[in-house]
C-alpha cells in the first residue's frame, strides 16, 4: 500500500488483526480465532460487545471511583431497566429503518467485493471508513 506507514510494528499489528479478527479467503490467515460473526452485528461493523457497553454505561453514570451507595444502587436499577427493555425488543423486534437497511446492504456488498478480490485492502478500508463516518456525523 502506498500510504501504509513504514514502521514494521504497524505491519505486525495489521497481521495480528488479520490473523485474529478478519476472515478472508484472500489473506494468509483464512481461519481467525475471533471471526467477524462473533464481534459484529449481522456481519457489519456494529459491535455486539456487551462488556464494552456495560463499561461505557458505568463510565457515563459514575464519575467517582466510590459513588454514594444509594446512587450506585439507583444506577444499577436503571441499567437493569434498560436491559429488560432490550431483551423485550428481541422478542418483539422493531423494523429497521430503510436507511439502516441500505447501509447494511452496501457494507455487505463492500465486504463481498473485498473477499472476491475486486477491492484492495486499502480501497475496502477507505470506502468502509467513509461509510462509517457518515453514520456518525
Q: Where are the domains of the chain?
A: 1-39, 50-91
Closest CA to 15 of 36, 38, 32: 32
Mean pLDDT on 57-81 = 85
For the stretch 74-77, contacts whose Cβ atoms lie closer than 8 Å and that sit 24 or more positions apart, written own/partner, are: none
- Quick check: 49 and 36 in contact, CB under 8 A? no
Q: Render pLDDT for 22-52 as a digit per residue (tens, 0 to 9).
A: 766 555 656 777 776 666 655 554 555 677 7
- pTM to 2 decimals? 0.35
Grouping H, G, I as helix, E, B as strand and the rest as coil, residue 46 is coil
Grouping H, G, I as helix, E, B as strand and the rest as coil, residue 47 is strand
Amino acid at each position: 500500500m502506498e500510504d501504509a506507514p513504514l514502521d514494521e510494528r504497524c505491519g505486525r499489528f495489521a497481521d495480528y488483526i488479520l490473523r485474529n479478527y478478519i476472515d478472508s479467503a484472500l489473506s494468509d490467515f483464512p481461519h481467525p480465532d475471533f471471526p467477524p460473526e462473533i464481534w459484529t452485528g449481522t456481519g457489519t461493523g456494529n459491535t455486539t460487545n456487551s462488556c464494552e457497553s456495560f463499561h461505557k454505561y458505568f463510565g457515563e453514570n459514575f464519575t467517582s471511583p466510590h459513588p454514594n451507595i444509594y446512587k450506585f444502587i439507583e444506577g444499577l436499577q436503571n441499567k437493569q431497566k434498560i436491559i429488560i427493555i432490550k431483551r423485550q425488543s428481541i422478542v418483539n423486534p422493531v423494523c429497521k429503518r430503510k436507511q439502516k437497511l441500505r447501509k447494511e446492504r452496501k457494507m455487505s456488498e463492500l465486504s463481498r467485493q473485498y473477499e472476491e478480490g475486486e477491492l484492495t485492502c486499502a480501497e475496502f478500508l477507505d470506502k468502509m471508513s467513509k461509510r462509517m463516518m457518515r453514520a456518525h456525523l
